[in-house]
Structure 1
Amino acid sequence: MQSYLKRILTARVYDVAVETPLELAPNLSARIGNNVLFKREDMQPVFSFKLRGAYNKMAQLNPEQLKRGVIAASAGNHAQGVALSAHRLGCKAIIVMPTTTPQVKIDAVRHFGQRSVEIVMHGDSYSDACAHAYALEKEKQLTFVHPFDDPDVIAGQGTIAMEILRQRQAPIHAIFCAIGGGGLIAGVAAYVKQVRPDIKVIGVQTTDSDAMARSLKSRKRVTLNDVGLFSDGTAVKLAGEETFRVCKQYVDEVVLVDTDAVCAAIKDVFQDTRSILEPAGALAVAGAKLYAKREQLKGETLVTVCSGANMNFDRLRFVAERSEIGEKREAILAVTIPETPGSFRKFCTLLGKRNITEFNYRYADPKAAQVFVGIQVKDQSETADLVDKLQRGKLPTLDLSDNEMAKLHLRHLVGGHAPEAKDEIIFRFEFPERPGALMNFLNSMDHSWNISLFHYRNHGADYGRVLVGMQVPRTDKKALKTFLDTLGYPYWDESDNPAYRLFLG
């Protein structure tokens, strides 16, 4: 490990990399009662720490090796580092990437590598791409630039720890690092434990890509059959041999987080920095939150390495939807209410002034209605209190907040045809996004009209888009017009919409 200390202190990374800031996260720190610091590796030229290790490795190659060229396998961030390094060093590079790599990373590799890089797409995971890259290495006599299992790459990543300890000389309780193959945390741990051994070094993995955690527990490297791809930057089936050796000696522990917790961490970083991390980039933040809660820490300093920001824009839709659930600030409930006029109003009264984030209901049974509802809560205990309150109000309730099928699919599938919903008319409304808007609608509506369909989802706008089905007798058309005109909400009659006729009517 003395060798690693020397390698890190003499690493050639600053020809291309920058010393990134160590920033206080004021909002997150106040919320969890500890000083959370973000090491902003997302601010590197390639938006990831991977540039450090890639360039340090390639800068050590002799002229003959550089002339023949290099090859690498990567899920994206290491590829960008190799591409930029190849361009700067004037050598050719072949980069093998899994077919699941986000397009933003593929485009970035082409951009940074310019004419120096050839991209080969192969396999569903990093491990698949790596096996193919090794075959090409032998075939073309190239030098393999490993994304993590190489002492020079590990040393390059270790310069992050060197910067952290220089930037923060006051006490640090722990430094948190995402783990895929282990290059980042191996470099950080090798330096920290030589210089400040009192500081804990804690790894963070997702529950579905935990090869290093299982390996450390088993005291031998464990290969996963499959890996989750949400955090594509850490989707590694087998930890590195050298990284495992270093982690086994110096890493204090590895904590596991789920997808919802990662989404919540992405939101936390955005709220403090207005920057958007990729899932792997936010792993350390998610792990620090979980660890602080588990250990009941207060007033400690926690450093989190924000390791990358190469996020596909389309993925933000999923992240935004799951972030509140990951923070336990949205409860997803299935509630059974009587299929009688006024029961919907009773249900909303029991909810009180809580914000409804989603409401899905479709008439299906003349006696009971099944409602799928999302409700903003402060924490998990409030969810339990709310479920208890609804149960005492004789409205059977099931908490679906941890039900993956419900969160992924059911919320988009509630509905269908309702042939028994006689005299149904459909209106699309824009409700003002403020407490009381729904109750104003319900109180203004004729109490004899039955609501046969209701769909609402908070989209973060200043008004809510709502689809409502009402069973209004033909003799009440005049009263309906009066209701709509006095309500004051913009509305559109969708009763003749072909989409309604095909799927809901």
Structure 2
Amino acid sequence: MTDFPSLARAAESQMRSVFDPTPLTRNDTLSDRYGADIWLKREDLSPVRSYKLRGAFNAMRKVMAGPEAAPHFVCASAGNHAQGVAFMCRHFGVHGTIFMPVTTPQQKIGQTRKFGGDQVEVRLIGDYFDDTLATAQAYCRETGGHFLSPFDDADVIEGQASVAVEIEAQLGRLPDRIVLPVGGGGLSAGTHGYCGDAVPLTLVEPSGGACLAAALAAGQPTRLSHVDSFADGAAVAQIGARTFAHLKNIAPADVLAIDEDRICTTMLDMLNVEGIVLEPAGALAVDALKDIRDRIAGQTVVCVTSGGNFDFERLPEVKERAQRYAGLKKYFVLRMPQRPGALKDFLEILGPQDDIARFEYLKKSARNFGSVLIGIETTAAENFQRIEREMTEAGFEYRDITNDTILAEFLI
């Protein structure tokens, strides 16, 4: 029986007829910041801007090498897997039907159609991915289509392992540590299957989709009751059974959960400092360096930047979330006296580094007081200590609603 590393090397070799290896580049800024030799495996520079085409290629080539004549491929995906399947349908000249949630960003729908061309039909079904998946699987049963799982498939896992194969070849050896994101587990399972115990892995999940941590705690794949879809490339409700079989012995200490707002600070840092565009899931590995800096000093560390399919219409949201996480922006509901000069009194509290980003009366008909929604940006988080102290001393009643999820949904 062929061992997994050999299968991964064979898959990687076959891929070279379709696309070149993605770059492995040393990042001087991160290396200096963390006192380590930090390299980025740039999966965001693949032909579809994510690693997902690797698993799609490997699974599809194996199906086409079998007895199934003119296979019709079907998948369900909110983005990156769909683009990988579409690209490979066009490459192999086979037909594919791709089901995507109605709520999928237009950028990802457009890219999927572009990569697939005439070979692919995109169907928008369901507000939630579970509905989309159920519809795709029912369609397969009705039509005899071949369903391509985004992660829970042995051939997909084998294909994703080609990332680790390339890292070893490009670096000339295996690194001291690999940091990579976890969604359904295809990439992490493939990397662990290839490296075994030779390389410690740090596996990173978004806090709102920590399905690997839940599975490790339960001893089996466990479905999360709620998933935050912000980091959609890694926001999965339940890790795959096949992928978990590879990962079940990972130490819980090597699995990190990263706050979605904190991911935004890294996305902006990579964009502004390095000119690298990463989607939220693609920034997870780089962001995790903040949590493991004491463990990596002097080591050679590879971070897998897993995807760069970012819709720039989301940039204001990313900036907003990053500022709020860093404490540079806050929202208050302020009880403003309805008298001449009250607004002037409030404005005098603000310093030269403070700026009003939002100002809206919420109760315009009040006689004596009016409630005002006010957003303030500043250049240093400690400035808010002074602002809040001076508002209290001036007799202004206020409520900080920055982290009040329910009020924020309605007002911000």
- TM-score, normalising length from structure 2? 0.84
Aligned length: 405
The one-letter amino acid of 1:74's match is S
The one-letter amino acid of 1:273's match is E
Corresponding position of 2:81: 78
Give the secondary structure class of the aligned counterpart of 1:135.
helix
Give the secondary structure class of the aligned counterpart of 2:248.
helix
Corresponding position of 2:210: 210
> Which range moves more in the overlay, 295-304 or 81-90?
295-304
Q: How far apart are the structure 2 equivalents of 1:396 and 1:36?
A: 49
Gap change, CA 1:28 and 1:334, over 3 Å in 2: farther
Tell whether the 8 Å contact from 1:127 to 1:237 is kept in structure 2 after alignment.
no
Tell whether the 8 Å contact from 1:205 to 1:256 is kept in structure 2 after alignment.
yes
Task: Could you tell me which runs of 5 or more consecutive residues in structure 2 were left unpaired when the two chains were aligned.
Answer: none
When Rg is computed on C-alpha atoms for both structures, the one with the higher figure is 1
The one-letter amino acid of 1:52's match is R
Q: How far apart are the structure 1 equivalents of 2:391 and 2:76?
A: 53
Where do residues 285-364 of structure 1 align in structure 2 (5 Å cutoff)?
285-289=286-290, 291-292=291-292, 303-335=302-334, 344=343, 347-360=346-359, 362=361, 364=366
Q: How far apart are the structure 1 equivalents of 2:352 and 2:173?
A: 44
Corresponding position of 2:179: 176
Corresponding position of 1:269: 270
1:172: how far off?
A: 5.6
Corresponding position of 2:256: 255
* 1:241-264 superposed Cα distances (whole Å, 9 cap, x missing partner): 011111212365332233322322
Gap change, CA 1:147 and 1:361, over 3 Å in 2: closer
Q: How far apart are the structure 2 equivalents of 1:387 and 1:35?
A: 43
Tell whether the 8 Å contact from 1:75 to 1:125 is kept in structure 2 after alignment.
no
Corresponding position of 1:238: 238
1:319: how far off?
A: 2.0
Give the secondary structure class of the aligned counterpart of 2:178.
strand
Task: Could you tell me which runs of 5 or more consecutive residues in structure 1 were left unpaired when the two chains were aligned.
Answer: 412-505
Give the secondary structure class of the aligned counterpart of 2:15.
coil
1:176: how far off?
A: 2.9
Higher relative contact order (CA 8 A, sep 6+): 2
Gap change, CA 1:31 and 1:303, over 3 Å in 2: same
Report whether the alignment pairs 1:129 with 2:128. Answer: no
The one-letter amino acid of 1:201's match is T
The one-letter amino acid of 1:55's match is F
1:270: how far off?
A: 0.9
Gap change, CA 1:272 and 1:181, over 3 Å in 2: same
Give the secondary structure class of the aligned counterpart of 2:249.
helix
Report whether the alignment pairs 1:3 with 2:6. Answer: no
Tell whether the 8 Å contact from 1:65 to 1:142 is kept in structure 2 after alignment.
no
Corresponding position of 1:494: none
Tell whether the 8 Å contact from 1:47 to 1:309 is kept in structure 2 after alignment.
yes
Give the secondary structure class of the aligned counterpart of 1:94.
strand
Identity %: 32
The one-letter amino acid of 2:315's match is L
Tell whether the 8 Å contact from 1:51 to 1:82 is kept in structure 2 after alignment.
yes
Q: How far apart are the structure 1 equivalents of 2:8 and 2:136?
A: 27
1:184: how far off?
A: 1.4
Q: How far apart are the structure 1 equivalents of 2:356 and 2:174?
A: 41
1:54: how far off?
A: 0.6
- TM-score, normalising length from structure 1? 0.70
Gap change, CA 1:120 and 1:48, over 3 Å in 2: same
The one-letter amino acid of 2:285's match is A
1:292: how far off?
A: 4.1
Gap change, CA 1:21 and 1:328, over 3 Å in 2: farther
Where do residues 410-425 of structure 1 align in structure 2 (5 Å cutoff)?
410-411=411-412
Gap change, CA 1:367 and 1:330, over 3 Å in 2: closer
Q: RMSD of aligned C-alpha atoms?
A: 3.3
Corresponding position of 1:94: 97
1:274: how far off?
A: 2.3
Give the secondary structure class of the aligned counterpart of 1:236.
coil
Q: How far apart are the structure 1 equivalents of 2:67 and 2:2?
A: 29
